[in-house]
Amino acid sequence: MSENIIKHIVKRDGTVVDFDRDRIATAIFKAAAAVGGNDRTEAEKLAKEVEAKLIVNFGTSATPSVEEIQDLVEEVLIKNGHSKTAKAYIVYRNERAQARAQREVKFEATDNIPYKKIYEVLRWNMEHGCESIDGLNEIIAKGKFSELIADCEERYDKEVRLGAERIIARLPEVRIAIIAGPSSSSKTTTTIKVSEKLAEAGYEFKAINLDHYFFNLEQHPKDEFGDYDYETPHALDLKLIDEHIAALLDGKTIKTPHYDFKTGHRELNIHEMSLAPNQILLIDSLHGLYGEMTQSTPNSKKFKLYIETLGQVENSAGTFMRWADNRLLRRMIRDSWHRNLQPEQTLTHWHYVRRSELRNIIPFIGTVDYLVNSAVPFELPILKAKLFQYFPPAMAKFKDDPKRQDAYVRAKRVYEMLKDLTPVTDDSCVPKYSLIREFIGGSGYEY
């Protein structure tokens, strides 16, 4: 006898996915929290009632739509006397609908990642059998994991090389190469590798470390959790950066600040730096595309390279790994050894990262000259081995916290994505100059 439950639903884009009652409970809990509620148990009880009504209305063999489920949520909330929560849920539902409509209209202008590029990534993964969790598991089971690593490294190095060649083609007019991208997209490693390619072609280079331009930590705003926002471009001294870059291009010598992440303080006029006429200034920055950073320099003198983890790996439910979730895993490891933060702290801080990316990076992607995909499918089994243990306790801890629902949803999403993936605990097969070494350690580069 089969279980008396709804098994699948239809999303707005027509795809069929597994039914998840917990998503209903979370949506109700968020709406309740917006009006002062904090009872997760009540939200779960109401979600069960919604599921029961779905079964009555549609039967267990039917596949209801998201819209039909949301209609029942509103009905159940009102029936049980939760009128304020129902109103908040209706507002939330309307805001989500507006956001979806905006994304549909402005996709090319906001994300601006060409469909052709995404298709190329998917096609490459399919050709190498790593477009799914099942495919990765099979590669590991057959002892071909090292081969996948080699293929991934070759693809990435080729993209970096082509990017460097495009910079060279625009010399001597180009004086600045900006390598930008969201957090943990491997900007630093890519910058180093571009620099190597330029050096091989006989050109000198000079990198400026913009991490040293952070304001003192006490000048950063805090939220109700006491978190500092490193992700906004205005955490950096943009005016000083712009002045220093202009001075360097004029042949002047500058002294950059020095920022200590452990103390949260900077000292001015520490690192002396100059740029010779035959040198290219390389900028590796989360906010390299942000206009105020280089507003005094004409665009003709800049080459903008954008890097993102454009991974195309799906699980058995047909859900693709989100690019931001891929980068979250990388940063959870790097923060633990570079910034002395526990993985859970990175998880709860990630809302700042995503907010800043959406506001300060994505709108400017359309201005870039070249795009690099830094997702390497082999990293997922390695990242799972190092981090998966943190997600179940995070889910349990934040599930009933109305102020941490973003962390709960994110943790659950990553958990569901990686739960069936075979972990790889031995990363010795990863080359020491691999981009993933920037995050897991053991790199031949100095960061």
Same domain? 258 vs 193: yes
Same domain? 177 vs 158: yes
Do 321 and 314 touch, CB atoms closer than 8 A?
A: yes
pLDDT band at 364 (very low <50, low <70, confident <90, very high): confident
Which tens digits make up the pLDDT trace of 95-125? 776 665 554 433 232 356 777 888 889 889 9
Q: How many domains does the chain have?
A: 2
Which tens digits make up the pLDDT trace of 189-206? 998 999 898 888 888 888
The answer, yes or no, to whether residue 348 has pLDDT greater than 80, is yes
Higher pLDDT, 441 or 219: 441
Position 231 scores a pLDDT of 72
Please tell me whether residue 259 adopts helix, strand or coil conformation: strand
Residue type, 341: L
Q: Average the pLDDT over 158-177 and give the result.
A: 94
Position 112 scores a pLDDT of 61
Q: What percent of the chain has pLDDT over 90?
A: 60
**At which of 107, 128, 153 does a domain end?**
107
Instruction: Say how far apart CA 399 and CA 411 lie, in whole Å.
Output: 10
Q: Is residue 296 part of a domain?
A: yes
Q: Considering only 16-30, 136-150, 410-424, which range has the smallest mean pLDDT?
A: 16-30
The answer, yes or no, to whether residue 150 has pLDDT greater than 50, is yes
Do 264 and 244 touch, CB atoms closer than 8 A?
A: no
The helix-helix angle for 323-338 and 405-418 (nearest 10°) equals 100
Same domain? 66 vs 127: no
Q: Is residue 135 part of a domain?
A: yes
> How many CB atoms are closer than 10 A to CB 265?
14
Same domain? 19 vs 65: yes
> Tokens 């109401």 map to which residue?
46
The answer, yes or no, to whether residue 22 has pLDDT greater than 90, is yes
Q: Average the pLDDT over 171-194 and give the result.
A: 92
**At which of 107, 127, 160 does a domain end?**
107
Same domain? 103 vs 30: yes
Q: Is residue 2 part of a domain?
A: no
Same domain? 91 vs 225: no
The answer, yes or no, to whether residue 431 has pLDDT greater than 80, is yes
pLDDT band at 220 (very low <50, low <70, confident <90, very high): confident
The answer, yes or no, to whether residue 15 has pLDDT greater than 80, is no
Position 39 scores a pLDDT of 92
Same domain? 390 vs 311: yes
Q: Average the pLDDT over 243-257 and give the result.
A: 96
Q: Is residue 3 part of a domain?
A: no
Q: Average the pLDDT over 334-359 and give the result.
A: 85
- Boundaries of domain holding 51: 8-107
The answer, yes or no, to whether residue 381 has pLDDT greater than 60, is yes
Position 136 scores a pLDDT of 98
Which tens digits make up the pLDDT trace of 274-327? 998 889 998 888 888 999 999 999 999 999 999 999 999 999 888 889 999 999
Buried residues in 316-353 as b, exposed as e (16+ CB within 10 A): eeebebebbbbbbbbbbbbbbeeeebebbebbbbbbbb
Same domain? 159 vs 210: yes
Q: Average the pLDDT over 46-62 and give the result.
A: 87
The answer, yes or no, to whether residue 356 has pLDDT greater than 70, is yes
Position 225 scores a pLDDT of 65
Same domain? 366 vs 335: yes
Position 106 scores a pLDDT of 36
Q: Is residue 445 part of a domain?
A: no
Q: Is residue 66 part of a domain?
A: yes
Averaged confidence pLDDT in the chain: 89
Residue type, 225: F
The helix-helix angle for 379-387 and 133-141 (nearest 10°) equals 90
Position 104 scores a pLDDT of 47
Same domain? 69 vs 124: no
Assign 3-state DSSP to the chain and report helix, strand, coil percentages, each to 5: 55, 15, 30
Q: What percent of the chain has pLDDT over 70?
A: 94
Same domain? 31 vs 146: no
Q: Is residue 312 part of a domain?
A: yes
Position 109 scores a pLDDT of 29
Same domain? 94 vs 117: no
CATH number, domain at 268? Answer: 3.40.50.300
Q: Average the pLDDT over 153-171 and give the result.
A: 95
Q: Is residue 249 part of a domain?
A: yes
**At which of 41, 76, 107 does a domain end?**
107
Which tens digits make up the pLDDT trace of 383-419? 999 999 999 999 999 999 988 998 999 999 999 999 9
Which tens digits make up the pLDDT trace of 56-88? 887 877 788 888 898 899 989 999 999 889 888
